[in-house]
Structure 1
Amino acid sequence: MKSKSVRSVSVYNNELKLKGFNVFQIEKDGNATKIYSRKDFYKICLTTGKSRIHYANRTYEQEGTVLFFGNPHIPYSWETISTTYVGYTCLFSEEFLKLSDRSESILQSPLFKIDGTPILKITVEQRDFLNEIFKKMIDEQASDYTFKDDLIRNYIHLIIHEALKMEPSKNVNHHGNAASRLAAVFLELLERQFPIESADHPLKLRTAKDYATALSVHANYLNRAVKEVTGKPTSTHISERIVQEAKALLQHTNWNIGEIAYSLGFEYTTYFNNFIKKHTNTTPKTIRA
């Protein structure tokens, strides 16, 4: 029989996929923080306790109540140091939050972008106010109100605006310059696209421009940063990783070459064949043999 916590994870994940949103209270033992480690949704956490948060290549030491903003494109991890940890967590997709195609991308927000301020120190008064907002979101999530999604969106925007009015936390250790930070985030995002697990779900980020858009920076700026730090341009890193994945799929799956080409973002098998030959001096059929 599956444990209650495992069933809870399944329920939460299913609700996220269907609705693009979920909010819940973190239990006193902090299990909810450990259970909810998904990185494909934006995250807002209001937590009280002692923790160490690694975000991109920066580290934040925090004690007390903090408000954290997690971007799915930026690698982060959370170490809970105190024995008890309480608060709330809200997860949502960008599609859920955007009200129209003309809405500004959330990646433009200083709370979510790479060089932004993802962690804010919260006073007791601010915590009480934010607690009420999270409670209202939890109530609406369980309600039958027809327009509850709109109301929840408004609550999320309210939290974001309250955060923008606060003084950013100063307790941050910077490691490296902006170029090294951006390069580290790019390489992490690149690696996160793999392995390809299904031919029905092709590679989403295929070009340097795709990655620049995902990271909300100009493609030229991203390329300069990556080349400065690694000695190779963005496109070379992407091509090398696609070649590596192509070899693995050719040698370790029974997918036909057309399926592999599609899964790696190639519209036509001919394009895939030419790409492999250019970068390996051989053909997909030879690699598979």
Structure 2
Amino acid sequence: MKNITMVAEFTLLGFSIYPKLRIHIFFLVSLFYIMTMVVDLIIILLVLLNSKMQKPMYCFLANLAVIDICFVNTTIPNLLKDIWKESKSISVTCCLAQMYSHILSGTAEFLLLAVMSFDRYVAICFPLHYNTIMKRQLCIHLIAGVWYGSFLFTCTPVYLIMKLTFCFPIIDHFFCDIYPLLKKSCTSTLLVKNCVVVSSSLIIVSLIITVISYINIIITVVKIKTTEGKQRVFTTCSSHALVVSFAYGSCIFTYFHPSRIPQLYFNKNVSILNAVIVPLVNPFIYTVRNQCIKEAIHDIYLKLISQGISVYL
């Protein structure tokens, strides 16, 4: 241990990109990043400015947009910098900050999806009591609980990681993910890994809540006799169900895969989908499949057109 040299910065290997494709990949990732930011900001503004969308469902949706914005900004800006400048170095402090931001926003998203599934369960299974149960105060407490729970369950593993000694400067990833980072420690990481397993139980709990909510929703849908009623329920839940599938599916593919596939290689390739594609798909699913959001966008478009004509005249 006397010969150990602590590293001051890491080198992220990222992806092997053919030089002629570098510019094309840069602009493609930039396009996805801009589209994600714009659509999420539109959703947030619509919920804040449109009185018709002052409901728990859209309040949770706006918070999901905030989480997606935080999530993409933990990885994509640094990825774009590395692609453009071929500068793949990152300080240990920035690496730890990136890792914590990524874990915090990711955990918050899973918890919020569980809250949204509970909201859909109350709306469909107890429609007459929905306004009584899902009051404004409860929604605020649920959103605060999402962020507080995420912080509470992620701060301990990150604190333990900060106490580690890192001796190997090269990380085979495009951002500071937790498991590739732990492999660069020259001290024991057993306690950290056990703590991560305990903390990840929160995500399992959120999955259980989501599954139970949808089981009850399905039971309720089966009891509905009219096709119109079933179609209305399907329209209400389909967007959230798709987002849940993408979120948990990407997580499962990242950490559970056949043993014959190298773990870091597999995780790195799946993580690029999780970091770039999934945050882009989420808001588009809600905007395309939600009639209220489409009507709100249409109303704003008509107002802008009318204002432009009046100014011109």
Give the TM-score taking structure 1 as reference length.
Answer: 0.25
- TM-score, scaled relative to structure 2: 0.23
Greater helix share, structure number: 2
Q: Which structure carries more relative contact order (alpha carbon 8 Å, separation 6+)?
A: 2
Structure ranking higher in strand proportion: 1
